[in-house]
Each structure stands twice: as structure tokens, then as C-alpha cells.
Amino acid sequence: MAEFDIERFVQLSKAVDLSDIDWKEATAVGITDEEYRVVRYMADTELHTILYLRDLLHGHIARDPEVTQFLACWVYEETHHGRALEEFLAKVGRPTEPDRFQSLVKQPTVRESMGDSLFALAATVSPLLAATHMCWGAANELTAAASYQALAERTPNAQLAKLVNKLQRDERKHFSFYFHQSQKRLVDGGWRAQAICKLAMSRFWQPTGLSVGGLATLEFITSYLFGSEEGRESLRAVDTTIGKLPDMDWFHGVQQWTDAARDRFRKAHPADYERHRREDRQIGAVRAPVPAAVAV
């Protein structure tokens, strides 16, 4: 399996290029309220990457030059993802309120606080936890890529599709780094690193941005973007790919979490759920087949 080339990644890292986005066309086509809800969540989550970076930079991880160089470029690229999405929203008449970022940096839940503190402590006392951090990151980057792909396939706004396809390509590069780091650390750390990873991913994994977008928004997105058989398959492919890591072949966390969330949305909003499925059937005729797993 090819190694991730950190030198090449750092040299080529850049803000997403918007020079070929036709803003006039983007504005003329516009977006629906449901598309706005998805893009708003994506922009908010991207712009929170700097706070996720704070949670990552502890102990062993903060002392690894390969990881810190990646993270410096990663947070730069993700921030520009958020800015690009907000620029798109402004162009379609839905500008971001000036104090949005501050208003979203809410008090974390007790579980989040405990989780952050435990992760920080464990990362300080043991390099073994870094393998889990990297596995977690790989799952989240690949889920983000699947979300952008699903939105690109669904939206009638060709310029939005073009933009999120660019973001999707960046997310797959980020995934590759996290996956290879996790693989190396799970092998080097042996059964102890693998046991910690198994415990964390089975007990605590949840999608990025849950505390930013809120549970109701995530439930809506699982129906809107991932309610079709193709949508579910794209998430199964995430689990299958994460399952290629050492002792991770049991992992079905993304599929399980999203299946449950989609089910709750179906029960709470049956009419919207059925409309999403009708829209799926119209889109299905032109959708490209989804790979069963991602090449890494």
C-alpha cells in the first residue's frame, strides 16, 4: 500500500480555487431551503476545524512533526472550505450573520468536555491513543467526502456541484493522511493501540459537527443526502474502508449511526421523508455507481 507523501501534500496545499465558479449562474439558479440547511451545516462545521485542531494538539500528537505539518495545512484548507461555502451562500442571497461563529461556540456538553479531557490526558500519557485519533479522523474525512458527493449529485445548481466536488477531492486527500497514520500506529502499537481504538470507535464515534449543527439537522441530512439505496451504500463504503485498518473489520459505526438517525427523521417527518425518496428516484436515473470501498 502506497505511503502518504507528506512533503508533496505540504507543497501542494492551497486554498480551494474558486476562479472557475460562474457566480452569475450560481446566483441565477439559487438554492432551496433544504439545500441551504445542508450547506449552512457544512460551512459551520468546516469553520469549526480550528477548534477540532485544539482538541487534537496534545501530548504525543503535538510532538510529531509529520502530523503537525499536516494539521497546519489541514486547518488552512478546511477554513477555506468554510469561507468558500459562505461565499456561495452570500451569492445566492443567504449571507452569514456577522456573529455566527461566536454564537455557535457554545458551552460543550458534559460528555464532550469529559471526552476532550480524557483524550487530552490519554494522548499525553500514551502515544497509543494517536492511532485512535487518526482512525476517527479518517472516518470523518471520508464521511465528509461522501456528503459532498451526495450533494453534488442532488443539487440542480451546477456551480454548487462544481464547488463541493472540489471540496470532496480535498477531503479524500485528508482521509488518506489519517488512514495511513492510523494504520501505521495501530500496527506499531499492537493489541493495546487496537483495543483503545476499538473501544473509542465502538462507544464514542459520532459524525463531525453534531455539536455545531445539532441532532435535528444531522437527522434531516441523513434522509436528504443518504436516504436512497445508493446513499446508504456510500456510507457502507466508508465503514468497509475503515474496516481495512488493523482489527477494525467489525466497524459499522457510520452506517449504524446514520440508519438510526434516518429512522428518527422518517418517524418525525414522514411527509418530508417520502418526498426525499421521490426525489431520489428522479435523481437515481443519472447517478453514477458508488464504489464498494475507497482505494487508499
Give contact residues for Fe ion (rule: CB under 5 A).
Answer: 46, 78, 81, 141, 171, 174
- What is the C-alpha separation between 39 and 84, in angstroms, rounded? 11
Q: How far is the CB of 106 from Fe ion (least distance, A)?
A: 21
Q: How far is the CB of 291 from Fe ion (least distance, A)?
A: 19
Q: How far is the CB of 272 from Fe ion (least distance, A)?
A: 27
DSSP state of 292: S
- What is the C-alpha separation between 41 and 26, in angstroms, rounded? 19
Would you call 107 helix, strand, or coil by DSSP? Answer: coil
Instruction: For Fe ion, give the closer residue by CB, 171 or 239.
Output: 171
Instruction: For Fe ion, give the closer residue by CB, 43 or 248.
Output: 43
Instruction: For Fe ion, give the closer residue by CB, 16 or 120.
Output: 16
Q: How far is the CB of 170 from Fe ion (least distance, A)?
A: 6
CB 94 within 8 A of CB 157: no
Instruction: For Fe ion, give the closer residue by CB, 180 or 276.
Output: 180
**Which residues touch 231 (CB under 8 Å, ≥6 apart)?**
150, 225, 280
Q: How far is the CB of 174 from Fe ion (least distance, A)?
A: 4
Instruction: For Fe ion, give the closer residue by CB, 83 or 287.
Output: 83
Long-range contacts of range 161-170, CB-CB < 8 Å, 24 or more positions apart?
Answer: 162/20, 162/21, 163/16, 163/18, 163/21, 163/84, 163/85, 163/88, 164/42, 166/16, 166/17, 167/16, 167/81, 167/84, 167/85, 170/16, 170/77, 170/81
Instruction: For Fe ion, give the closer residue by CB, 172 or 236.
Output: 172
Q: How far is the CB of 83 from Fe ion (least distance, A)?
A: 11
Return the C-alpha cell found at 133.
Answer: 485519533
- What is the C-alpha separation between 76 and 74, in angstroms, rounded? 5
